[in-house]
Amino acid sequence: MAVTFYNLKAESGLKKLDEYLLSRSYITGYQASKDDITVYSALPSVPSYEYGNVARWYKHIDALLRISGVSGEGSGVTVESSLVAEDAVATPPVSDTKAAEAEDDDDDDVDLFGEETEEEKKAAEERAAAVKASGKKKESGKSSVLLDVKPWDDETDMKKLEEAVRSVQMEGLFWGASKLVPVGYGIKKLQIMLTIVDDLVSVDDMVEDRLTAEPINEYVQSCDIVAFNKISAYLNAISNSLVQNLPFVWHGDHGSGQTLQLLEMRIK
C-alpha cells in the first residue's frame, strides 16, 4: 500500500519527511525506486541542512539520477499538497490505491533528468558557502547491516569463506561479529554484522561486485540482507564499541533513533 506525504512545501511537511527518513535509506524498500523519484520531484528545492535526513536522502537520489538513473518499481507513494492532513504520514485504505496510482501518472511528465536551472545552481552555491562559513563539517550518516552469506554446499570451507568475506575492505566499511547458523542437511550459513558510512558504501553494489564475484564466489553462493537500519547519532558511540564483539541488529523506532536489541551476548 502506498505511503502518503502531505504538503512538502511547508516546514511541517518537511519535518514529517525528515522523521520518516530517520530510520530509512529510501522512501520504500532497500533500494532506490520510483517512490524516491516521486517524492524527489515533489520537493520545491534542495532541502535545507536543518532537515539532515531529508538532505542526505535528496543528495543520494540526486546523484543516482545524474549517474545511472533509478529502476526500482517501489511500493507506491502519494504526495498531497493539502494542509488538512499535513500532520500525518499514513498508508491509505485499499480503496484509495487507484486514486494514488492516477496521481502518480501525473508525475510522469516531470523532467527529472534535465540540466540544473540557474536558480538551482545559485541555491547550491549559497548552501555550500554557508556550510564553509560555519566551519562545521556535517557527519555522514551510518547504517547497521546484518548479512546472511550462504555457501555452495556442505563441503565449503566456512573458515575460508569468512576470511574471503572479511578480505573485502573499503573506506566506510567496518566488519563486526559473526557466527555460523545451521541451515539444514549439514549446511551452515555465515551471519555477519557490518557498519557502513552511507555516503561511501552501497551494500547492494558490494554484494554484487565483490562478495558474489570472482574470486570470492568460489565459496559464496549468495548473500541476503537480513536487517538494514540507520544508526542515530546518539547511538554511534555504542555501535562503534559493540560491533566488533556482539552480533546485533537494530529494531523499531524509539525516541530519535532505534532501540538496540542484542540478539546474543557472549561475555568471555
User: How many of the other CB atoms lie within 10 Å of CB of 129?
Assistant: 10
Question: pTM of the entire structure?
Answer: 0.40
Tell me which residue of 186, 204, 254 sits closest to 32, measured CA to CA. Answer: 204
Per-residue model confidence (pLDDT) at position 177: 94
Burial of 22 (0-12, 13-18, 19+ CB in 10 A): middle
Per-residue model confidence (pLDDT) at position 125: 73
**Contact assessment for residue 141 and residue 153, using Cβ atoms and an 8 Å cutoff:** no
CATH number of 142-233: 3.30.70.60
**Contact assessment for residue 142 and residue 195, using Cβ atoms and an 8 Å cutoff:** yes
Residues listed for the chain: 268
Per-residue model confidence (pLDDT) at position 129: 67
User: How is the chain split into domains, by residue range?
Assistant: 11-68, 142-233
Per-residue model confidence (pLDDT) at position 113: 45
Tell me which residue of 220, 210, 214, 262 sits closest to 241, measured CA to CA. Answer: 262
Per-residue model confidence (pLDDT) at position 97: 43
> Digits of tens for pLDDT over the chain (268 positions)?
568 888 888 888 888 999 999 888 888 888 888 888 888 888 888 888 889 899 998 988 888 887 766 777 877 888 887 654 444 444 444 444 444 444 445 444 444 445 556 776 777 677 666 655 544 444 568 999 999 999 999 999 999 999 999 999 999 999 999 999 999 889 999 999 999 999 999 999 999 999 999 999 999 999 999 999 888 654 555 544 544 444 444 433 333 333 333 333 333 3
- Upper half-sphere CA count for residue 215 (Cβ side, 13 Å): 4
Q: What is the 3-state secondary structure (H, E, C) of 57-110?
A: HHHHHHHHHHHCCCCECCCCEEEECCCCCCCCCECCCHHHHHHHHHHHHHHHHC
